[in-house]
Structure 1
Amino acid sequence: MMKSRSITKHTDGAAIFKIFHLSTLSTLFASTLISSSHLFADANTHQSDNAFPIYTIEQAGQGKIIYTKNCATCHGNNLNDGGFATPITGDAFYSVWGGRSANDLLQYIRKNMPKGLPGSLSDKQYVDVLSYMFQVTGLPSGNEELRADIKQLSAITLPLPSSGPTVNNAIYIPPAPNPRDNPLDRITPVTDEMLIAPPDADWLMWRRTYDAHGYSPLKQITTANVNDLKVVWSWNMPEGRNVSTPLVHDGVMFMYGFGSLLYAFNAQTGDLLWRYEPEPKFDSPRDLGPRAISIYKNTVILTTDNGNVSALDVKTGEVVWDTPILNSNTTIFSSGSLVADGKVVLGTTTNRNPGKNFVVALDADTGEEKWRFYTIEKPGGNSDTWNGISADKRQGAGIYVPGSYDPESKLVYFGTANTYEPQLLSDLKDNDSNNDGLYTNSTLALDINTGKLAWHFQHLANDQWNYDWAFERTISTSSNNGTTHKSIITGGKQAIFDSLHATKGSYLFSLDLGLQNMVKAINPISGKKEIAPEAYPTAGETRLVCPDAIGARTWRPTALNPDTKILYIPYREACMKIRNLSPGDIPHGNFGQNVIPRPDSDGNFGGLSAYDLTARKNLWTHRYRTVPSTGVLATAGRLLFYGSRDRVFSAHDSANGDELWRVRLNSVPNGTPISFMIEDRQYIAVTTGEFGPAYPFGFAENDKNPRTALSTIWVFELSSAIH
């Protein structure tokens, strides 16, 4: 009978905690105790790659004191005697932990111990306890203390049991029959050419293509057979909001998990191939996470809660490079990453560090920073749009979603949000000078090689209402006065969409879904928006403004069929009563406000619309009681997929919007759906991970939703193809 054993890997340079075959101490420790007295008959014969000694006698003594106070009740006075929990020394312990790094063990202990108060000790205290464990094991001491240094700890390999398995106590497990192929064995590098023209079967970036269409050319799943879609596999990820989009390449799915985890799955079967988790740097994980991860050559690239951008080996999950970008937990990577022209390009979001939001580009091979563009106009230019307000008072223009890229012009496009300082904007409103506040609510076209601003267009100047124009920039073609242009189409929270010339930034036209009352008119030449006087609050008065600050067109991305030039838009219906802030008010946007239904509401609060960008007209609209919670996926099978806040994930006929299929999931769908193909089978995938109760009116269904964000990846396949 052939022996089978687990092979574990660890890195020697980065702070990584890998999940191996078992995940808790209670399951890791074998039930049979072999006394530590014979673990090492001779301390010099232990099976380890280390050059001991690695701790001091004094340090181990301190560790014993800390252990006795915090751990002995469970694990006994000497790590293995008298406690009700499993021992943490002896052959049984090291048969699991042997061969792994001391950093792995430290991170596990810090994350899970003491029981009931994990993480409550200092780094030095945890390392002192580790030193005491080594002393009890029989490892020799020296003159230098063991330190909470990631590189040092990662370089220390924990010893294997000296006795090793024997015929009497070993358990032999035969290899699994008919083992599945590992798609990582045949995964190929992702080239620049593949990113420009991705294989139909793959999903290589946030909206699949640089032009942010959110469109799949796959058509095996159609309006005729979509009702046969069934779940083929699913995977529970850490609880928490998760708006990220999975990537699929050569049969491998890469997916972000709350808390900066990254998973690699067999995309066909759901088998876990590897998992990565960086060491936390700040107090707690961010509440949202990045919308996008990237794949390039032989690496997967993600932004992490510790403020770094990391590139991982696609086959192992080990760190290739790791670049610190943020040094404060007040700034986040909401957008995630885009790889273009060999660079990782991404933006930042902060509402508390004036003038600090930026777009940064890193070398995709090395992580070296190439350029940085700050999204707030600096004082002193030829035209100061902040009325001379000092740099430390200028804030906003955050980047919330990934950029788009045009390989022909070498321009990368980002959208910015408004500003969040109520007094600043009130002052600007009353000032006679230029008060536009660049580059808030703007489209920025940046040179991919230099980061220099090629052009900008401000969609809504001096935004008092929190009506961000920070969403995807969809690249298409438009006809204007008989001439066809490459164009950018993008919309703000008012559900007004502007079309711009892609290389010049000049205004082309606008579409208004009719869900707002604050823009009175749009100049047909410049695109400048005239604000209705009644949309501004007046002292002592309350004004009704539509939509509310959450927006009619929200963070859920649109989809564009590149052949028909039809844009599919998920939206919600709501208004707000605004007033000037009083002492003690908590602003949402820059005013005190109450969110309410539209005055003419019929109980429908969301919907899906199709707009013909060539004819510039609405083709159809379907309204629903519940609002969309995901972006839209459009496919060549004439289908639209999206999720809503009642936990429903559904498919619709793109010709008329009729619902053809639905399934109710464990939580609210939140990540944008994707489609991919493996072995001539098309799959649909979506992620849940958002809290149910989120809107203050009209949603009794919210009380029936989970009150925690249950994050799960769901993968669907036609039932006739399920194997």
Structure 2
Amino acid sequence: MQSKLIGLAALLLLGGCNRSQPAETTAAVADLGPQGWRAQLTDGSDGRDWPGFGRTYGEQHFSPLDQINAGNVGELGLVWSLDLPAGNPATGPIAVGGVIYFAAGYSVIRAVDAATGRLLWTFDPKAPEASGHKLRQGWGSRGIAYWNGKLYTGTQDGRLIAVDARTGRQVWSAQTFGRDEQRFISGPPRVFDGKVIIGHGGADAAPIRGYVTAYDAESGRQLWRFHTVPGNPAEGFESPAMEMAAKTWSGDWWTNGGGGTVWNAITYDAEQDLILLGTGNGAPWNHQIRSEGKGDNLFLCSIVALDAKTGAYRWHYQINPGETWDFNAAMDMELADLTIDGQRRKVVMTAPKNGFFYVIDRTNGRLISAEPFVETTWAKRIDRETGRPVEEPGVRYTERPTTFRPTPVGAHSWPPMAFSPQSGLVYIPAIDLQVTFDATGMTRENFSWSGNMGLTSGVGYRVEPGPGDDTQGYLVAWDPIRQEQRWRIPMAGHFNGGVMATGGGLVFQGHPDSTFNAYDATTGRSLWEFDARAAIVAPPISYMVNGRQYVTVIAGMGTSGGLFGPMLEKFGIDYRTQARRVLTFAIGGRATLPPKTPYRAAAFADPGYTPNERMARAGEAIFNGRCAVCHGGAAIAGGTAPDLRTSAAVADPDAFWSIVHDGALVSAGMPQFEDHNREQLESVRAYLRERAAALRTSGARQAAR
């Protein structure tokens, strides 16, 4: 029986082989000192390195390098590739001193020689084993940071870890939240002026009160912490900002946490020594439940500016007052100096979930302009005087269901946009879907959290393409001064990759159809296309080694795209068989990739299956709250985790129990659900067997055609 369980368990792997490997060698580390690294992180630096998630403090995702340009990009070719084990590959790499560093899987850092692709060392923090219930949300690290010879990564279980960039050995580790708290880290840390800052996620699944924490980059000593929403007034307020924010809440909001987590977007304005936070949704989403439908609920869905030395509040701009749709403001924020109406303005730009592109004065937080970059039917416009949206009637779904665009997936998700100071344009990986919200029968009195990191929003919702829509997303080139579109390229899928712009007049982006493209930054004309033989979500980077410019991107599907598997099904992305690779390009590259084997989901054999409608419906409810976040809606996976309609382990009750209840695959990234009893898990199995039967039927029909 033991060998049978092991064999079946292998079919349900979620996390891959995230095991430490012996260091092959050390990495050469440039000794620039703190002042040197401050210079490399400024937006005007030479571009030979890419030391942060967005390259520089201003998060522009722009490389000034122009050796690869619109005139010769047709000669761009693959120099080397490096295969990765199973796990999340959708992470932004960095490059420093001729070494590429990235954290694939669950924050497993690898150092790779940028010119040759030789693996130098691997550091594995063993995050799945340490995460407990936190493993039920999040998918691993989206990125890392570099400062003065050290790398910084956040882990699912809440550690912020500094690693020696030369040897891969841990320097220090700080626990950023309690081990039993229902929070997790998936976003990249940011470094600034000898400090490192990190937030966390969790407000979609637990009564979380968001905050960020800054640490000394050399020692890991905590320097300051800023909460993004107020707590219980009876316990006092940590700052005047929290006392001010509390006046915008109603009822006993603190019992539900409030939300406002900073799970992704943090930008440092070095000129003013300000940290800008992009805050998330409320906990729960539904404003009626969270705050009696009253108040703006600061600082949800806002850009909040803090003094970088002390963490003290300076200003804020709230994108969605009284937010109730998961229109969070946690998407990347780019800094720029723009000439607007003849005046040079220091601005922060962002394209949050709600579909409007914002240009905000970063010296005071005042709105300069905001216009829609996709179709937006939830609001008529953003009032320039008040900065508030003019909402469409009924969009708050308090009396009846309502359908509108965009959706909780966002008009722009975490894959970053890019700003080119050269072209003056912003390039946005836009999403074009619609959603129906329905809160019928949901009240403050009957609301409760599902507990132990289960998705809980306080409203029912359905995300889907609009009627007759073949296009689910775009690459949009946006003029931030005129607030108008310059060009737009339609995409067949909704979850396209992060964007990089370059001084060579190029825009690079990957796609779920396995293509990696370079476009003319001015016209949008496709200039180069590479068959990556795997979906690409991660943002690309560019850097210089020994006088040669390289472009690197990590291929493979991961993170939140998997939740909407039905919309990715046409691309044939399979968790078990998809390639996960580091791909590095340069002019004259001649390397090749092995062919991609076409994939079509095939249901597992289940000769003893008998439908049970009651159990299947009960199992569907559990699956949607607990499992779909990784395994996909309607049990159709998008590549983030296995498609359980194809897993033989589902047909075997003992194997299924061992994996799901007993946690046989925790080390591989599959959470343990020991709080679910036999009846509950049998109902989930009944639902999955039903979905597999439907797949067998549809497969037989296709074969008969």
Alignment map for 1:253-332 (pairs within 5 Å):
253-279=100-126, 280-283=129-132, 287-326=138-177, 327-328=179-180, 330-332=182-184
Question: Residue 523 of structure 2 aligns to which amino acid in structure 1?
Answer: N
Report Cα offsets for 1:14-64 as digits up to 9, x if no partner.
xxxxxxxxxxxxxxxxxxxxxxxxxxxxxxxxxxxxxxxxxxxxxxxxxxx
Shift in CA distance, 533/360, structure 1 to aligned 2, threshold 3 Å: same
Alignment map for 1:348-497 (pairs within 5 Å):
348-351=200-203, 352-378=205-231, 380=233, 381-382=243-244, 384-421=247-284, 425-426=288-289, 428=291, 430-431=293-294, 435-497=295-357
Question: Residue 715 of structure 1 aligns to which amino acid in structure 2?
Answer: T
Q: Give the aligned partner of residue 337 of structure 1.
A: 189
- Match of 2:115, SS state, is coil
Query: Structure 1: how far apart are the matches of 2:206 and 2:471?
Result: 39
Query: Structure 2: how far apart are the matches of 1:117 and 1:698?
Result: 27
- Match of 1:555, SS state, is coil
Question: Residue 458 of structure 1 aligns to which amino acid in structure 2?
Answer: Q
**Residues 498, 510 of structure 1: 8 Å contact kept:** yes
Q: Give the aligned partner of residue 674 of structure 2.
A: none
Cα offset, 1:507, TM superposition: 1.4
Residues 1:529 and 2:389 aligned together: yes
Cα offset, 1:571, TM superposition: 0.8
**Residues 230, 718 of structure 1: 8 Å contact kept:** yes
**Residues 292, 338 of structure 1: 8 Å contact kept:** no
Query: Structure 2: how far apart are the matches of 1:695 and 1:354?
Result: 24
Alignment map for 1:691-706 (pairs within 5 Å):
691=558, 694-695=563-564, 701-703=570-572, 705-706=574-575
**Residues 693, 707 of structure 1: 8 Å contact kept:** no
Shift in CA distance, 275/528, structure 1 to aligned 2, threshold 3 Å: same
Query: Structure 2: how far apart are the matches of 1:422 and 1:602?
Result: 27
Shift in CA distance, 335/230, structure 1 to aligned 2, threshold 3 Å: same
Query: Structure 2: how far apart are the matches of 1:248 and 1:701?
Result: 34
**Residues 250, 292 of structure 2: 8 Å contact kept:** no
Query: Structure 1: how far apart are the matches of 2:208 and 2:32?
Result: 41
**Residues 241, 287 of structure 1: 8 Å contact kept:** no
Question: Residue 237 of structure 1 aligns to which amino acid in structure 2?
Answer: L
Q: Give the aligned partner of residue 184 of structure 1.
A: 28
Question: Residue 259 of structure 2 aligns to which amino acid in structure 1?
Answer: G
Cα offset, 1:260, TM superposition: 2.2
Q: Give the aligned partner of residue 586 of structure 2.
A: 717
Shift in CA distance, 206/546, structure 1 to aligned 2, threshold 3 Å: same
Q: Give the aligned partner of residue 410 of structure 2.
A: 551
Query: Structure 1: how far apart are the matches of 2:286 and 2:327?
Result: 17
Alignment map for 1:228-239 (pairs within 5 Å):
228-239=75-86
Cα offset, 1:722, TM superposition: 7.5
Query: Structure 1: how far apart are the matches of 2:527 and 2:248?
Result: 50
Cα offset, 1:408, TM superposition: 1.5
Q: Give the aligned partner of residue 561 of structure 1.
A: 420
**Residues 333, 347 of structure 1: 8 Å contact kept:** yes
- Match of 1:334, SS state, is coil
Any runs of at least 4 consecutive aligned residues in structure 1 with deviations exceeding 4 A, and if so which?
113-118, 180-183, 185-190, 581-590, 691-694, 696-700, 704-710, 720-723
Report Cα offsets for 1:370-417 as digits up to 9, x if no partner.
000011124543561112524232321111214111112100111011
Query: Structure 2: how far apart are the matches of 1:709 and 1:396?
Result: 35
1:250 paired residue among 69, 87, 97: 97
2:198 paired residue among 329, 346, 350: 346
Cα offset, 1:185, TM superposition: 6.8
Q: Give the aligned partner of residue 608 of structure 2.
A: none
**Residues 468, 493 of structure 1: 8 Å contact kept:** yes
Report Cα offsets for 1:560-610 as digits up to 9, x if no partner.
0113321111112110122224579998854312223224x4411111111
Cα offset, 1:202, TM superposition: 0.8
Cα offset, 1:317, TM superposition: 0.9
Shift in CA distance, 516/324, structure 1 to aligned 2, threshold 3 Å: same
Cα offset, 1:641, TM superposition: 0.7
Cα offset, 1:480, TM superposition: 4.5
Alignment map for 1:72-111 (pairs within 5 Å):
none
Query: Structure 1: how far apart are the matches of 2:350 and 2:388?
Result: 15
Report Cα offsets for 1:94-130 as digits up to 9, x if no partner.
xxxxxxxxxxxxxxxxxxx999999xxxxxxxxxxxx
Count of residues in correspondence between the two structures: 548
Q: Give the aligned partner of residue 606 of structure 1.
A: 473
Query: Structure 1: how far apart are the matches of 2:428 and 2:72?
Result: 24
Cα offset, 1:697, TM superposition: 5.6
Question: Residue 389 of structure 1 aligns to which amino acid in structure 2?
Answer: D
After TM superposition, the score normalised by the length of structure 1 is 0.70
Query: Structure 2: how far apart are the matches of 1:226 and 1:271?
Result: 25
Shift in CA distance, 332/242, structure 1 to aligned 2, threshold 3 Å: farther
**Residues 243, 671 of structure 1: 8 Å contact kept:** yes
**Residues 607, 628 of structure 1: 8 Å contact kept:** no
Question: Residue 101 of structure 2 aligns to which amino acid in structure 1?
Answer: F
Cα offset, 1:516, TM superposition: 1.1
Query: Structure 2: how far apart are the matches of 1:203 and 1:661?
Result: 23
Q: Which is helix-richer, 1 or 2?
A: 2
Question: Residue 214 of structure 1 aligns to which amino acid in structure 2?
Answer: H
Question: Residue 318 of structure 1 aligns to which amino acid in structure 2?
Answer: R
Cα offset, 1:642, TM superposition: 0.7
Shift in CA distance, 219/479, structure 1 to aligned 2, threshold 3 Å: closer
Q: Give the aligned partner of residue 638 of structure 1.
A: 505
Shift in CA distance, 225/347, structure 1 to aligned 2, threshold 3 Å: same
Shift in CA distance, 444/223, structure 1 to aligned 2, threshold 3 Å: same
Q: Give the aligned partner of residue 17 of structure 1.
A: none
**Residues 620, 656 of structure 1: 8 Å contact kept:** yes
Shift in CA distance, 313/436, structure 1 to aligned 2, threshold 3 Å: same
After TM superposition, the score normalised by the length of structure 2 is 0.72
**Residues 27, 167 of structure 2: 8 Å contact kept:** no
Query: Structure 1: how far apart are the matches of 2:38 and 2:591?
Result: 34
Query: Structure 2: how far apart are the matches of 1:361 and 1:430?
Result: 33
Cα offset, 1:214, TM superposition: 0.5
**Residues 307, 329 of structure 1: 8 Å contact kept:** no
**Residues 612, 619 of structure 1: 8 Å contact kept:** yes
**Residues 131, 156 of structure 2: 8 Å contact kept:** yes
**Residues 646, 705 of structure 1: 8 Å contact kept:** no
Query: Structure 1: how far apart are the matches of 2:130 and 2:249?
Result: 35
**Residues 251, 292 of structure 2: 8 Å contact kept:** no
Q: CA RMSD in A?
A: 3.1
Structure number with greater CO (CA < 8 Å, separation at least 6) is: 2
Question: Residue 504 of structure 1 aligns to which amino acid in structure 2?
Answer: N
Query: Structure 2: how far apart are the matches of 1:635 and 1:709?
Result: 29
Question: Residue 334 of structure 1 aligns to which amino acid in structure 2?
Answer: S
Question: Residue 230 of structure 2 aligns to which amino acid in structure 1?
Answer: E
Query: Structure 2: how far apart are the matches of 1:333 and 1:499?
Result: 28
Query: Structure 1: how far apart are the matches of 2:573 and 2:154?
Result: 33
Question: Residue 714 of structure 1 aligns to which amino acid in structure 2?
Answer: L
Higher mean Cα deviation, 683-692 or 319-328? 683-692
Query: Structure 1: how far apart are the matches of 2:562 and 2:161?
Result: 33
Residues 1:222 and 2:69 aligned together: yes
Query: Structure 2: how far apart are the matches of 1:281 and 1:704?
Result: 29
Query: Structure 1: how far apart are the matches of 2:423 and 2:529?
Result: 25
Query: Structure 2: how far apart are the matches of 1:618 and 1:573?
Result: 15
Cα offset, 1:187, TM superposition: 6.2
Show structure 2 runs of 5+ residues with no match. 11-23, 234-242, 593-705
Report Cα offsets for 1:164-213 as digits up to 9, x if no partner.
xxxxxxxxxxxxxxxx9976176655632322354421101001111111
